[in-house]
Amino acid sequence: MPPLIEVTHPRGIYLPEADLWLDPHFGRERAFVSHAHSDHVARHGLTICTEITHQLMVVRKAAKKAGIVVSPQMREVFEWEGWKIRLLPAGHITGSAMLHLTRKIDGATLLYTGDYKLRQGLSAERCELMQADTLIMETTFGLPKYHFPPAEDVIAQMLAFVRDTLRDGGIPVLLGYSLGKAQEILCALGDEGLPVMVHPSVAQITEVLAPHLGKLPQWRLFKADEVTGHVLVFPPGSKLELPKMRTAMLSGWAIQASAKYRYGVDLALPLSDHADYPELHETVEMVKPRRIYLVHGSTREFAAELRLRGYDARALGKEDQLELSLSAH
């Protein structure tokens, strides 16, 4: 068996042999960017990402003065120095990708999931996993209590909320992040025949993504004095005050019982663009890795559980924090 590809975490995930950072928060020489959520977008010398992610980075002004951008087609084998690189659909948001690396000299492999989900969404390609010796995966929802209901059920509840509110003469406001959740909501409204008004940030991103999405409803920019009879799609935290409005938040965190009160909304629906706990286990079973590194959320708990099941699993980045706190004393 070839030696595993080395993974380190000096303030971000770094593959020293390939001199490549994975979703770094700071500008780096060479980086893979899995998708265009703001916490992953910084300016790098060389960026590997999908074409859609690149377009989103440009529209979100993150790619200003960007260095070289390399955008291989999804699933295409891309030879890069001593490596074979493949981008695979991550199922998280439109254009999101996983990174699969093969070291040419001995065939050692690595899969980095980035943010992902296995369930089929409406606005992102279905996730495709590939076997790898080393797996770096996100565990945002890595506790047993995080088990999402089927997305069809959640969307049916969302549509019922919309219809009931309109029937009562109210204004339904659906809250979801401008990139990702907002497009998922719009796709879910595609066949409903209801006019939609959106926040400017949702409009900006939906314009870029429309060619990659299925049927969308009739949508236009929000105009307060013409709002009657419309469904509104806004990002969370919008300071919107309209008479007779009712709000529904769409987020994986709605799985927590207190979500409705915490978000201050009339309804909280657990529509997630991340893998839930059973999907995380399914991922490990399908990738069959020899070593697993966990990032985001409940990394320590999930690592402990995987070790009980016989895997070599570790929380990535947490060791550094431990060292820092020890050296500070």
Q: How far is the CB of 230 from Zn ion (least distance, A)?
A: 28
Q: Residue 260's CB: how many other CB atoms inside 10 A?
A: 17
Residues 209-238, interacting with Zn ion (CB under 5 A): none
Q: For Zn ion, which stretch binds (CB under 5 A), given 105-113, 114-122, 165-173, 189-197?
A: 114-122
Strand runs labelled E in the chain: 13-15, 20-22, 30-32, 46-48, 68-70, 78-80, 83-89, 97-103, 109-112, 134-139, 171-175, 196-198, 219-221, 231-234, 245-250, 267-269, 291-297, 313-315
Pick between residue 42 and residue 232 the one whose CB is nearest to Zn ion: 42
Q: Please give the Cα distance from 282 to 80 (Å, whole number).
A: 30
Shortest separation between residue 313's beta carbon and Zn ion, angstroms: 22
Looking at the DSSP bridge assignments, the partners of residue 175 are 234, 249
Q: DSSP state, 72?
A: P
DSSP one-letter code for 213: S
Which element (helix H / strand E) includes 121?
none
- Tell whether residue 44 is a contact of Zn ion (CB under 5 A): no
Is residue 184 near Zn ion by the rule CB under 5 A? no
Contact 88, 97 (CB under 8 A): yes
**Encoding tokens for residue 182?**
């907002």
C-beta of 115 vs 133, nearer to Zn ion: 115
Beta-carbon contacts of residue 127 (< 8 Å; ≥ 6 apart):
88, 89, 90, 91, 92, 98, 116, 117, 118
Residues that contact Zn ion, how many (by CB under 5 A): 2
Alpha-carbon gap, residue 142 to 99, rounded angstroms: 21
β pairing state of 231-234 and 171-175: parallel
> Which residue's CB is nearer to Zn ion, number 120 or number 228?
120
- Which of 115/184 has CB closer to Zn ion? 115
Give whichever of 30 and 37 is closer to Zn ion, judged by the CB atom.
37
- The residue from 21, 44, 91, 115 that contacts Zn ion (CB under 5 A) is 115
CB of 37 to Zn ion, least distance (A): 4
Options 20-28, 113-121, 136-144, 167-175: segment touching Zn ion (CB under 5 A): 113-121
Provide, rounded to whole angstroms, the least separation between the CB of residue 97 and Zn ion: 12
- Please check whether residue 263 is in contact with residue 177, taking contact to mean a CB–CB distance below 8 angstroms: no
Closest to Zn ion by CB, 170 vs 236, is: 236
Binding mask 67-106 toward Zn ion (x if CB under 5 A, else -) reads ----------------------------------------
Segment near Zn ion (CB under 5 A), from 12-20, 33-41, 132-140, 157-165? 33-41
Binding of Zn ion by 37 (CB under 5 A): yes
From 36-44, 125-133, 146-154, 169-177, span contacting Zn ion (CB under 5 A): 36-44
Q: Binding of Zn ion at residue 117 (CB under 5 A)?
A: no
Q: 127 forms bridges with which residues in the sheet?
A: none
Report the interface residues with Zn ion, using CB under 5 A.
37, 115
